[in-house]
Amino acid sequence: MWEYTDKVKEHFLNPRNAGEVEGANAVGEVGSMACGDALKLTLKVDEKGKIEDAKFQTFGCASAIASASALTEMLKGKSVDEAEKITNQEIADYLGGLPKEKMHCSVLGRQALESALSNYRGEAPKKQEGKIVCECFGITDKEIEKAVRENNLTTVEEVTNYTKAGGGCESCHDAIRELIAKVREEEAPAKRPALSNVQKIKMIEETLEREIRPALQQDGGDIELVDVIGNRVLVASRGACAVCKASELTLTHFVEAKLREMVWPELTVEEVPQ
Amino acid sequence: MKTIYMDNNATTRVAPEVLETMLPFLTDRYGNPSSAYSFGGEVARDIRRARERVAGLLGASPDEIVFTSCGSESDNTAIMSALNTGKGKMHIVTTRVEHPAVKVLCGELTKRGVRVTEIPVDREGRLDMDRYRESLTPDTAIVSMMWANNETGVIFPLEEAAGLAKERGILFHTDAVQAVGKIPIDLGHSAIDMLSLSGHKLHAPKGVGVLYVRKKTKFAPFLIGGHQERGRRGGTENTASIIGLGRACELAADRMEEENTRVRELRDRLEKGLLGRIPHSRVNGGGAPRLPNTTNISFEFVEGEAILLLMDEYGICASSGSACTSGSLQPSHVLRAMGVPFTMAHGSVRLSLCVYNTDEEVDEVIDRLPAIIEKLRAFSPFWKPEGQACASGT
């Protein structure tokens, strides 16, 4: 059972502003039944740009319902400009926090708000920007980058908690890792200068020696660096690795992940015949 | 507030008769059954009796009963034993709807080079027997197939499946955690080599399980240590729980008929009552042979966790296969394997009864649940009150 705050429970059991505002002039709809949660937000904004009324309709779990209820309470009486600034973290804070696995419920609220406000301004419903990274939940690279940037996320697990991306078949985890690295680089351009080829090869060799080969040797395996071409790291398996059926998994899950972590996030590891 | 417990596939209450049998072993009779003096040796005698009682329920011989700590340990032991004694055989046949104790273990084993075939099921949760037959190869070390599904209650044709494995000389294990005590089992006339059961699913306490190992089956212990369980499972016996489990098995045999008559009627009435009162609902696995106590119903346009938490307000305990309750973001692997649409899977609720449930409790759930679904549907963006529900946006 999830540990919800009393405020989440209270908003779930007695949701405020459930339903649809009549004569709404700002409508935002996000999510889908297939995803497991969906939110439709209807607002009435007066001539002066103040939000007179706000209602929600939610398909989702207790925290999705509570987040939507909280959002409508936060919106009422605010100007459109003020509403614009509400972040998903503020929705979560209003409820005394959400379990980390449920942060995507607050993100859903923020997305519905954005969608409603652009509808109010008469903008065409935003076409999905970017390309889909997570096929299971239809999450794009832009959405992932945004969540990473706004919430300072550093791991795939955190991205899943906030956006759901990567929570299904998990085949997009590498792509998410790359997006995290990309945002991190933007944020701290000075920290990580591009590596020269010589530096890169040296760091790869060091990481192999220090981190990777000792672990493989424990299982009777080994690995040898053959060449580095751009971001392609060519290796040859030795010992038990050369005959192990699972060595392909080891290469991607362990060797590549380690090299990406320690050396350069865009490295790919390929095995070459001995 | 009174608790209405309808989650007996998750765990069950300890029967008062079971507790009574156990108490002396938690107080005065704390001797170690392996000790030489009678203060311990007499406990060994009681364990022997418990072993006979468990064997009695299964139609097995007492020597074939190995006490473990839980169903998961039994499952792990059976599968690892098959690999360790299988002379290098590297293939496991299982199903797509197994309990995590088998499913996750098999997933781990694939990382070590073991090949795993998961047999699919159809929309009602029935096993694809043709695919099963084709999947059995000379490299197959073991088949591990649940007897009855924990989420839907769907029963697999176990004897037929075990027979096919036996013809090919392949070990056959079943996770019968949900089946034991609910449907008759007679291992004396069966091709099953190993069977797992769990105490707390049949009114014994948590922390005790059994692995049945047919005589002459090659076996490698999982927990290595003392001579307990004739060297098949090291570790000092959980005496009180083992003795409790013995009594629980005896009770289960006595109550088998009630389980299949009164409990089945309660379940059927509950199911009918809910389907009749709640539009856009359907039973998952309703077209297949099922355990008498289980129903899994999907309510469209609403989400399972929200349903459970509103039921909790009335003290009603149940489970859901929705993503939010599974701790992952995808709904239950069982419902997905059955091809239940996501829109239905997210709103699934499992109610599982037992002999302690009453007519009044069933009435109350039939009374309460429609209003809960209605409340949630009232603010679901997909629900149209005039009854013309709109499934757009899926």
3 state SS of B226: coil
Alpha-carbon gap, residue B190 to B211, rounded angstroms: 16
Q: Is the pLDDT of residue B387 over 90?
A: no
Per-residue pLDDT at B390: 47
Per-residue pLDDT at B249: 98
Q: Is the pLDDT of residue B79 over 80?
A: yes
Residue B348 in any domain: the answer is: yes
| CATH number for the domain harbouring residue B344 | 3.90.1150.10
Alpha-carbon gap, residue A156 to A152, rounded angstroms: 12
| Average pLDDT over every residue of A250-273 | 83
> Which chain B residues are Cβ-neighbours of A111 within 8 angstroms?
none
| CATH number for the domain harbouring residue A161 | 1.10.10.1100
Alpha-carbon gap, residue B314 to B319, rounded angstroms: 15
A100 and A203 within one domain: no
For residue B101, count other CB atoms closer than 10 A to its CB.
21
Chain B within 8 Å of A12 (Cβ-Cβ)? yes
Distance from CA of A182 to the nearest CA of B (A): 25
Residue B393 in any domain: the answer is: no
Q: Is the pLDDT of residue B111 over 50?
A: yes
| Average pLDDT over every residue of B345-358 | 96
From A88, A120, A152, the end of a domain falls on A120
B136 and B236 within one domain: yes
Active-site amino acid positions of A:
35, 105
3 state SS of B118: strand
For B376, the closest chain A residue by CA position comes to A59
B310 and B201 within one domain: no
Residue A193 tokens read as 């200068």
Residue B384 in any domain: the answer is: no
Residue A192 in any domain: the answer is: no
Tens digits of residue pLDDT in B244-286: 999 999 999 999 999 999 999 999 999 999 999 999 999 999 9
Residue A136 in any domain: the answer is: yes
Chain A within 8 Å of B342 (Cβ-Cβ)? yes
Residue A126 in any domain: the answer is: no
Alpha helices in B86-117 (DSSP H): 100-110
User: Which of B340, B380, B384 would you mutate first to test chain A, the one with the most A CBs within 10 A?
Assistant: B380
Q: Give the CA angle between residues B4, B177, B68 to the nearest 5°.
A: 115
Per-residue pLDDT at B207: 98
CB contact under 8 A, A36 and B380: no
Per-residue pLDDT at A222: 84
Residue A49 in any domain: the answer is: yes
Tally of domains within chain A: 3
CB contact under 8 A, A249 and B391: no
Per-residue pLDDT at A1: 67
Residue A231 in any domain: the answer is: yes
Share of residues in chain B with pLDDT > 70 (%): 96
> Which chain B residues are Cβ-neighbours of A39 within 8 angstroms?
381
Q: Report the candidate in B388, B293, B389, B315 with the shortest Cα–Cα distance to residue B347.
A: B389
B72 and B140 within one domain: yes
| Chain A / chain B CB contacts < 8 angstroms | 90
B188 and B83 within one domain: yes
Q: Is the pLDDT of residue A241 over 80?
A: no
Residue B69 tokens read as 């700590």
Single-letter amino acid code for the residue at A249: L
Average pLDDT for chain B? 95
Alpha-carbon gap, residue A129 to B62, rounded angstroms: 66
CB contact under 8 A, A34 and B394: yes
Residue B274 tokens read as 């809910």
B34 and B78 within one domain: yes
Look-up of token digits 């294990």: B173
Active-site amino acid positions of B:
324
Chain A within 8 Å of B305 (Cβ-Cβ)? yes
A104 and A30 within one domain: yes
The whole-model pTM stands at 0.80
CB contact under 8 A, A101 and B305: no
Tens digits of residue pLDDT in B193-216: 999 999 999 999 999 999 999 999
Residue A94 in any domain: the answer is: yes
Tally of domains within chain B: 2
User: What is the distance of C-alpha B3 from the center of its chain?
Assistant: 22
Please report which confidence band the pLDDT of residue B369 belongs to, taking 50, 70 and 90 as the band edges: very high
B185 and B130 within one domain: yes
Q: Residue B279: which domain range? A: 4-10+256-376
| CATH number for the domain harbouring residue A223 | 3.30.300.130
Residue B392 in any domain: the answer is: no
B176 and B46 within one domain: yes
Low-confidence winner among A124-138, B80-94, B361-375 (lowest mean pLDDT):
A124-138
A94 and A136 within one domain: no
A166 and A206 within one domain: no
Low-confidence winner among A49-58, B153-162, B377-386 (lowest mean pLDDT):
B377-386
Q: Residue A26: which domain range? A: 6-120
> Which chain A residues are Cβ-neighbours of B378 within 8 angstroms?
18-19
Q: Give the CA angle between residues B214, B334, B204 to the nearest 5°.
A: 50
A112 and A54 within one domain: yes
Give A228 or B169, the one with higher predicted confidence. B169
Tens digits of residue pLDDT in B156-167: 999 999 999 999
B247 and B299 within one domain: no
B170 and B74 within one domain: yes
Q: Is the pLDDT of residue B240 over 90?
A: yes
A111 and A28 within one domain: yes
| Average pLDDT over every residue of B182-189 | 96
Q: Report the candidate in B113, B157, B154, B155 with the shortest Cα–Cα distance to residue B132.
A: B157
A183 and A240 within one domain: no
Q: Is the pLDDT of residue B294 over 70?
A: yes
| CATH number for the domain harbouring residue B93 | 3.40.640.10
Residue A1 tokens read as 């059972």
Tens digits of residue pLDDT in B9-19: 999 999 999 99
Q: Is the pLDDT of residue B393 over 50?
A: no
